[in-house]
Amino acid sequence: MNPPVLLVVAHGSRDPRHAATVHALVRRARSLRPGLRMETAFLDFNLPSVPGVLDRLAAEGVREVVALPLLLTRAFHAKADIPAVLRQAPPSLNVRQAEVLGPSPLLVAAVERRLYEAGLMPGDRSATGVVLASAGSTDPEAIAVIAETARELRRTGWCSVRPAFASASLPRTEDAVRALRADGVRRVAVAPYVIAPGRLPDRIAAGAAEADVLADVLGPSPELARLLITRYEEARIDKALAAVS
C-alpha cells in the first residue's frame, strides 16, 4: 500500500519570496525521501489552495494524506484555520493533521546555522547576545513556546537570548536589541525565527538596524527539511498506534 501523501500547508503571502522559499524547502525535504509523494498548498494569497490540492488528490484515487502545518507554533492557524479547511476534504480522503514544527532541537540548530552563516563563529557565542525574533502571536501557548525556544538557544552557549516579536506581542526587535546593549552585551545578533521572507520578516530586519549581525530566515535549511519528515513520520506512527488500540 502506498504511504500517505505529505501535504505541506503554508500560510501564503503576497510577497513572492514566501512561496519560492516554501517550494525550496519542500524540494529539499523531497530529496531526503525521494519515494514519498509531497504536495504543497497555501491557506491564502498563493496557489494551489488547500481545497484544490485535496480535490485533485481525491480525483487521483489517493486515500491517505498527512497534512503538515508549516508553522513554528500552535497558534490560531494551527488550531482553527487549518482544521477548518481540512474538514472540507472529499469524504474519500482520510486526512490526518500532523503537529506543527516547533518546538524542536532541530529548529534551535537551524537558528544557529543561520547565525554562523551570517558571520559568527561558535567561539563568538559567549560574547554574543541573540534576539530571537518571531512573527508574533496573541496566543499564550505560542508565546510560551517562543520563550522556551529562546531558553534552549541560550543553553547552547550564547551569553544572552531575548525573544522579540514583529507584531501582536512585545518586545519589538529593536527594543530587545537595545535591552541587550543596556545589559552590556558586546555583540548583538538578530535571528529571525520565521520560515520565509515577507512583511513581518522585513519588519524584523528593520528592527535589527542597531544590531551587529542579522541572520537569514530559516528557509530551506537542512534541519527544517529533516523536521518535515520527522513530523510526517510521527503522524503516521500515531495513526498506527490509534488503529491498534
Tens of pLDDT along the chain (245 residues) come to 789 999 999 999 999 999 999 999 999 999 999 999 999 999 999 999 999 999 999 999 999 999 999 999 998 778 989 999 999 999 999 999 999 999 999 999 999 999 999 999 999 999 999 999 999 998 999 999 999 999 999 999 999 999 999 998 899 999 999 999 999 999 999 999 999 999 999 999 999 999 999 999 999 999 999 999 999 999 998 765 554 32
pLDDT given at position 243: 46
Let me know: does 11 contact 43? Beta carbons within 8 Å: yes
Q: Which residue has the cell 530566515?
A: 217
Please give the C-alpha separations between residue 172 and each of 148, 200, 226, in angstroms, as whole numbers.
18, 11, 30
Find out whether 108 and 156 touch, Cβ atoms under 8 Å. Answer: yes
**How confident is the model at residue 1, as a pLDDT?**
74
